[in-house]
Chain A
Amino acid sequence: MGGMRRRLGVMIGLAALVAVGCGGAGELGTAGWPNRPITMLVAFGAGGGTDANARIVSGLLERELGQPVNVVNRTGGGGVVGHTAIANAEPDGYTLGYVVAEVAMMHWAGLTDLTFEAFTPLAMLTGTPGAVFVRSDAPWESIDDVLDEIDRGAEILQASGSGQGGIWHVTLAGVLRSLARDPGAVTWVPHQGAAPALADLAAGGVDLVVSAPAEARGLVDAGRIRPLVVIDTERHRLWPDVPTLAEATGSDWNALAWGGVAGPAGLPADVVATLQATLGGIARSEEFIELIERRGTGAIYRDAGGFREYMAASDASFGQAMAAVGLVP
């Protein structure tokens, strides 16, 4: 046993050496911010839309601040895990996060106590509307046809686009409520995300999908599905012929899957001032707008105050829509 214990000791020692060797920078003071790398937490996985937006912002922020800005994905729990990590981070300006619309929804669903008030908003930077898609060979030519079908009630339509209580579920509920229809008149089929929901739509598994235009683009280009309406105040760049919800139905209800940079509550005032100015400059730069819009997302800028107001309004609007479909316990 002595041999084994010695071996264990050597092993732990060497393992620690390897792990520390790969670790990197230690803790330093906070004066003269920023004088060490900044972490940008993202609550969704690498490769997704939120991650891509955060990476674009971080790349430009890194250039402006002269310090590395490392994107770190903390996924899970429909965004609860990552957003909690942002809110609980040390408020020293070295940990920021890309906060997105789920913050205005998950507390209503009872998943967490965390609300938008747990953050120091810095700048809203992106937003994408939802759009309604049907299969290419579906009998409906417009959203009115779909509404007629719902009113006829002969067969209950099935829709998907996100999980139960996910952003596109709540968006559809909001749309139906604004059109004086029962949000429960369409069955929501939960899927892990827009991609599997769109695949299920193409396969004939569901009748409608609500999702961001960028995510549906591939199947639309391949001629498998087509957009009926964009839930926004203006038409979408990808499909200028597709009407907005207001044009098609007169309802001006809209919601964005918004995102922006925020820190934990209690960020020092000088850090906030520097970040606000820097992010404002980035948001107005042609380079940023080009990078974001090429992905099919909208570059939508609001300053720190505007971002806070927007989050509060979004929180209230999503709360109403969620209550309407019985998602608020």
Chain B
Amino acid sequence: MDALGAAFGLVLQPDVLVAVGLAAVFGLFVGAIPGLTATMAVALLVPVTIFMEPVPAVAVVVTVVATAIFAGDIPGALLRIPGTPASAAYTDDAFAMSRSGEAELALGVSLVYSVLGGLVGAVVLTAAAPLLAEFALQFSSFEYFWLASLGLTCAVFMSAQSRVKAIGSLLLGLLVSTVGLDVVSGQARFTFGTTELLGGVHFIPVLIGMFAVSEVIRHMAASTSDLRVPARRIGNIFAGVAAVGRRHWRSVVRGNALGVGIGILPGAGGDIAAWIAYAVSKRCSRQPERYGTGHVEGIVESASANNSALASAWIPTLVFGIPGDSTTAIIIGVLYMQGLNPGPTVFLERPELVYAVFLTFFLANLVMLPLGLAAIKSATLLLRVPRDLLMPIILGCCIVGAFAINNAAFGIVVMLVFGLVGFLMEENGFPLTPAILGMVLGRMVEEQFMISMIKAEGNVLAFVDRPIAALLAALAVTVWAWPAVKTLRSRVAGLRPVG
């Protein structure tokens, strides 16, 4: 428990508290502007975190993600445009509520259940991660190979868009991950003789390009003008929130449980959690016909789910170094730059830092309550910020950020190239997250596979020799075979004569 005391000492510092406050304001702003996502907010912040101590750096990232995901609900309720993809599932309901004069209740429910969801996620993270880390200390390259393979599988299976396009996106990520020095043989691959590419393609400039520059390009290509925001006064948002909770307590519990569960899966974050929670809520509800017409039940469940998924996405991130979603993929980069290499040993060697990370989740969600209220009150002002001013500032921040990662102009080139790639992918319906996970996990799969093969002297059976590895292998093979089995069964069923 010494570590916990030390963690409190690390978190309750003026610089950490100021950083959390500023990060909350930034996150609320970015989240509330449609088109600017939580992932983009984090990508833009990475270069700033390089110059910070580990605890405030992580606290900033945690706060920005939590507040941005909540703030995405504000334009959803007022304009029917979700601020971030995580709010898209229940935008119709929230907007319908606003139209019938219940904007306060819709926003109040979003805020309170987002905060609650965030706190539940933080409790689960704090309780589960150290236990899992103790277990993960027994993991060798064989187990990591299967885990990373499962991660790649999830990246495709959990995609909201076409599975074939998700595979295409994943393959692009895997291809990019092969550039640079091969860790096993030390040979250069796809470097075309340049020193810059010897270090591989750093994925932070790629991320900044894909998530931020692509949005700037989209803004330039589209001729949409600024949003027309009707002036509106927002009253007391907390009236009736408790009553909604009492009436729909099952949704609160289920939304949080779903959020936590989905967050842990690699490749699935807050947005997928919100969609699934909304669908489950509708199926279990006594009034499914009212969904989409301004029914609060779905908002309660999905708003809980998207925020509780954020903290649980950190469980595989911290314990195995396998990102739970696209923001935690960036966070792995931040952790490495801070010397906090994710993996089970960080729990043994720097427990006070791990506990400090957990505490920042509680802090971020508590700060969100008053600041979120302020954001709702000033929503009209926030939504009227002119895009033509905002986009160049974002592009400027992108350039500075891509340069700062390795202090090289090469980062800017990478950022611009992937900005264009990201724009073209999104325009054609290819999801971006599988590409990012492919880049992060591709290295891991290859490396762990090669390490395992060297250890096993080429004997493939060694991959299922250790009990945990065998279990993970069985799981992976089942998931891979499942679509084939399903197709086969439906074929067989189709062949059988009817009647």
Establish whether residues A205 and B349, one from each chain, have CB atoms under 8 Å apart when the complex forms.
no
**Shortest Cβ distance from A195 into chain B, in angstroms?**
5
**Shortest Cβ distance from A83 into chain B, in angstroms?**
10
Establish whether residues A84 and B195, one from each chain, have CB atoms under 8 Å apart when the complex forms.
yes
Return chain A residues, CB-CB under 8 Å to B223.
3-4
Establish whether residues B388 and A7, one from each chain, have CB atoms under 8 Å apart when the complex forms.
yes
Return chain B residues, CB-CB under 8 Å to A75.
199, 406
Q: Which residue of B is nearest A202, CB measured? A: B137
Return chain B residues, CB-CB under 8 Å to A16.
396
Establish whether residues B138 and A204, one from each chain, have CB atoms under 8 Å apart when the complex forms.
yes
Q: A222 interface residue, CB < 8 Å from B?
A: yes
Establish whether residues B393 and A18, one from each chain, have CB atoms under 8 Å apart when the complex forms.
yes
A-B contact count (CB 8 A): 162
Q: A1-30: which residues lie under 8 A (CB-CB) from chain B?
A: 3-4, 7-8, 10-19, 21-22
Q: A18-B396, A19-B400, A80-B195 are in contact. Are A192 and B183 (CB under 8 A)?
A: yes
Q: Which residue of A is nearest B393, CB measured? A: A18
Establish whether residues B392 and A10, one from each chain, have CB atoms under 8 Å apart when the complex forms.
yes
Return chain B residues, CB-CB under 8 Å to A78.
181, 186
Establish whether residues B400 and A77, one from each chain, have CB atoms under 8 Å apart when the complex forms.
no
Return chain A residues, CB-CB under 8 Å to B249.
none
Q: A270-307: which residues lie under 8 A (CB-CB) from chain B?
A: none
Return chain A residues, CB-CB under 8 Å to B188.
77, 111
Return chain A residues, CB-CB under 8 Å to B340.
47
Establish whether residues A190 and B345, one from each chain, have CB atoms under 8 Å apart when the complex forms.
no
Q: A136 interface residue, CB < 8 Å from B?
A: no
Question: In the bound complex, how far is the Cα of B407 from the Cα of A167, in angstroms?
Answer: 26
1/0 per residue A71-84: CB within 8 Å of B? 01111111011001
Question: In the bound complex, how far is the Cα of B451 from the Cα of A164, in angstroms?
Answer: 11
Establish whether residues A190 and B454, one from each chain, have CB atoms under 8 Å apart when the complex forms.
yes
Return chain A residues, CB-CB under 8 Å to B345.
195, 198-199, 202, 218-219
Establish whether residues B220 and A4, one from each chain, have CB atoms under 8 Å apart when the complex forms.
yes
Establish whether residues A200 and B338, one from each chain, have CB atoms under 8 Å apart when the complex forms.
no
Return chain B residues, CB-CB under 8 Å to A249.
none
Question: In the bound complex, how far is the Cα of B182 from the Cα of A111, in angstroms?
Answer: 12
Q: A265 interface residue, CB < 8 Å from B?
A: no
Q: A91 interface residue, CB < 8 Å from B?
A: no
Q: A109 interface residue, CB < 8 Å from B?
A: yes
Establish whether residues B343 and A195, one from each chain, have CB atoms under 8 Å apart when the complex forms.
yes
Question: In the bound complex, how far is the Cα of B339 from the Cα of A48, in angstroms?
Answer: 6
Q: B50 interface residue, CB < 8 Å from A?
A: yes
Q: B493 interface residue, CB < 8 Å from A?
A: no
Q: B185 interface residue, CB < 8 Å from A?
A: yes
Question: In the bound complex, how far is the Cα of B408 from the Cα of A72, in angstroms?
Answer: 10
Q: A224 interface residue, CB < 8 Å from B?
A: yes
1/0 per residue A85-129: CB within 8 Å of B? 000000000000000000000000101100000000000000000
Return chain A residues, CB-CB under 8 Å to B199.
75-77, 81
Contact of A224 among B137, B200, B221 (CB under 8 A): B137
1/0 per residue A174-195: CB within 8 Å of B? 0000000000000101111001
Question: In the bound complex, how far is the Cα of B388 from the Cα of A35, in angstroms?
Answer: 41
Question: In the bound complex, how far is the Cα of B338 from the Cα of A52, in angstroms?
Answer: 11
Q: B117-138: which residues lie under 8 A (CB-CB) from chain A?
A: 137-138
Q: How large is the interface on A (under 10, 10 to 19, 20 to 34, 35 or more residues)?
A: 35 or more
Question: In the bound complex, how far is the Cα of B72 from the Cα of A304, in angstroms?
Answer: 59
1/0 per residue B176-209: CB within 8 Å of A? 0000110111101000000110111010000000
Q: A11-B220, A199-B344, A219-B345 are in contact. Are A189 and B393 (CB under 8 A)?
A: no
Q: How large is the interface on B (under 10, 10 to 19, 20 to 34, 35 or more residues)?
A: 35 or more
Return chain B residues, CB-CB under 8 Å to A200.
140-141, 451
Q: Which residue of B is nearest A195, CB measured? A: B341
Establish whether residues A189 and B455, one from each chain, have CB atoms under 8 Å apart when the complex forms.
yes
Question: In the bound complex, how far is the Cα of B181 from the Cα of A15, in angstroms?
Answer: 34
Q: Which residue of B is nearest A106, CB measured? A: B186
1/0 per residue A195-227: CB within 8 Å of B? 110111011111000000000001100101000
Q: A3-B223, A7-B220 are in contact. Are A15 and B392 (CB under 8 A)?
A: yes
Question: In the bound complex, how far is the Cα of B399 from the Cα of A72, in angstroms?
Answer: 17
Return chain A residues, CB-CB under 8 Å to B202.
76
Q: Which residue of B is nearest A81, CB measured? A: B199
Establish whether residues B195 and A164, one from each chain, have CB atoms under 8 Å apart when the complex forms.
no
**Shortest Cβ distance from A117 into chain B, in angstroms?**
18
Establish whether residues B407 and A74, one from each chain, have CB atoms under 8 Å apart when the complex forms.
yes
Establish whether residues A80 and B137, one from each chain, have CB atoms under 8 Å apart when the complex forms.
no
Return chain B residues, CB-CB under 8 Å to A202.
137, 345
Establish whether residues B396 and A45, one from each chain, have CB atoms under 8 Å apart when the complex forms.
no
Q: B238 interface residue, CB < 8 Å from A?
A: no
Q: B152-192: which residues lie under 8 A (CB-CB) from chain A?
A: 180-181, 183-186, 188
Contact of B140 among A8, A156, A204 (CB under 8 A): A204
Question: In the bound complex, how far is the Cα of B143 from the Cα of A200, in angstroms?
Answer: 11
Contact of B454 among A8, A46, A189, A204 (CB under 8 A): A189
Establish whether residues A203 and B397, one from each chain, have CB atoms under 8 Å apart when the complex forms.
no
Q: A163 interface residue, CB < 8 Å from B?
A: yes
Return chain B residues, CB-CB under 8 Å to A72.
407
Q: A15-B395, A77-B198 are in contact. Are A190 and B184 (CB under 8 A)?
A: yes
Establish whether residues A22 and B408, one from each chain, have CB atoms under 8 Å apart when the complex forms.
no
Establish whether residues A190 and B200, one from each chain, have CB atoms under 8 Å apart when the complex forms.
no
Return chain B residues, CB-CB under 8 Å to A12.
392
Establish whether residues B392 and A45, one from each chain, have CB atoms under 8 Å apart when the complex forms.
no
Q: A251 interface residue, CB < 8 Å from B?
A: no
For the complex of A and B, list the 3 residue pairs with the smallest distance between their C-beta atoms, beginning with the closest. Answer: A76-B199, A47-B339, A18-B396
Seen from chain B, the residues whose Cβ lies within 8 Å of a Cβ on chain A are 50, 137-143, 180-181, 183-186, 188, 195-196, 198-200, 202, 216, 220-221, 223, 336-341, 343-345, 348-350, 388-389, 391-393, 395-397, 399-400, 406-408, 447, 450-451, 454-455, 457
Seen from chain A, the residues whose Cβ lies within 8 Å of a Cβ on chain B are 3-4, 7-8, 10-19, 21-22, 45-48, 51-52, 72-78, 80-81, 84, 109, 111-112, 156, 158, 163-165, 187, 189-192, 195-196, 198-200, 202-206, 218-219, 222, 224
New A-B contacts (12) at CB < 8 Å, excluding given A18-B396, A77-B198, A164-B184:
A11-B220, A11-B395, A46-B50, A46-B339, A72-B407, A75-B406, A76-B202, A77-B199, A195-B345, A198-B345, A203-B140, A205-B141
Q: List 6 A-B contacts (CB under 8 A).
A: A81-B195, A81-B199, A190-B454, A200-B140, A205-B140, A218-B349
